[in-house]
Amino acid sequence: MKLLVGLGNPGSAYARHRHNVGFMALDRIAERHELGPWRKRFHGLVCDGPIGGRRVSLLKPQTFMNDSGRSVGEAQRYLKIAEGDIYVFHDEIDLAPAKLRVKTGGGNAGHNGLRSISAHIGNEYARVRIGVGHPGSKDLVTHHVLRDFAKADHEWLEPMLDAIADAAGRLAAGDEARFLTDVARALQAEEKGDRAKRKPAPSEPEGKTAPPPVATPAGEGQVKRMSALAENLKKWLRGRS
């Protein structure tokens, strides 16, 4: 059994923040695989069910980001899940937008949610790192992650969430490499489809013009009416001379 954890802050005010992309990923996975309903457990929201024929539990801690480890620790102990069977979805400012990586262990790069989880369960769990880009200055990081995704971001964000949800069965099977491959292929297909939609219609070759419109023959009734009008016009002109 695998435990998939999404990181974020609870409440509608934070729902579209970059920092909440972990929640967004789990919501899309639950929707795509018809898991649910969400229930209050382990200081969080939990739902479970099969993905790709394997049972998984999804957890969204409701303790706020800085205390995420308390929720994850409770779930791990109760469900008796090994540290290596936990996947944590989170925002990653050191990756460009639309980039995705998976790594096990290592540093937490200043991410308070990861730091809290490591303090409660250890460090050898897998991180699913969803790139949200860096604002360019360390002083702007907090403002950057605690703001809504820009409208332009949704051009890559929505396809990525869909691709993550579609490939979630690979994580349920513990196949991280195939998970990344499936997501990459789905995004490449999406990009090619967008390019095809934006491709302009072919123009006429240089030096050629469109043929003139072909006149439609007038009907018999129309010809008679035109002849009568012409005859009346002649009579009127003779009367004026």
Q: CA–CA separation, 87 vs 103, rounded Å? A: 9
Query: Could you tell me which of 103, 164, 126 has the C-alpha nearest to residue 3?
Result: 126
Q: Determine the topology of domain 2-196 in CATH.
A: Rossmann fold (3.40.50)
Mean pLDDT estimate for the chain: 88
Over residues 83-108, the mean pLDDT reads 95
CA dihedral 91, 2, 81, 6 (to 10 degrees): 20
Q: Is the pLDDT of residue 69 over 90?
A: yes
Q: CA–CA separation, 102 vs 24, rounded Å? A: 17
Q: What is the pLDDT of residues 172-229, one digit of tens each?
A: 999 999 999 999 999 999 888 876 665 665 554 555 555 555 554 555 555 566 666 6
pLDDT attached to residue 93 = 96
Contact 64, 11 (CB under 8 A): no
End-to-end CA distance of the chain: 106
Contact 128, 100 (CB under 8 A): yes
Could you tell me whether strands 2-6 and 54-61 are parallel, antiparallel, or unpaired per DSSP bridges? parallel
Domains of the chain, by residue range, sit at: 2-196
Q: CA–CA separation, 102 vs 89, rounded Å? A: 9
Query: Could you tell me which of 65, 43, 79, 59 has the C-alpha nearest to residue 117?
Result: 65
Q: What is the pLDDT of residues 107-131, one digit of tens each?
A: 887 899 999 999 999 999 999 999 9
Residue with tokens 């949704």: 154
pLDDT attached to residue 198 = 58
pLDDT attached to residue 210 = 54
Q: What is the pLDDT of residues 137-182, one digit of tens each?
A: 999 999 999 999 999 999 999 999 999 999 999 999 999 999 999 9
Give the residue numbers marked as catalytic: 19
Over residues 79-104, the mean pLDDT reads 96
Give me the sheet containing 86-92, strands edge to edge.
39-41, 44-51, 54-61, 2-6, 86-92, 126-131, 100-104
pLDDT attached to residue 109 = 79
User: Environment class of residue 137 by beta-carbon count within 10 Å: exposed (0-12), middle (13-18) or buried (19+)?
Assistant: exposed
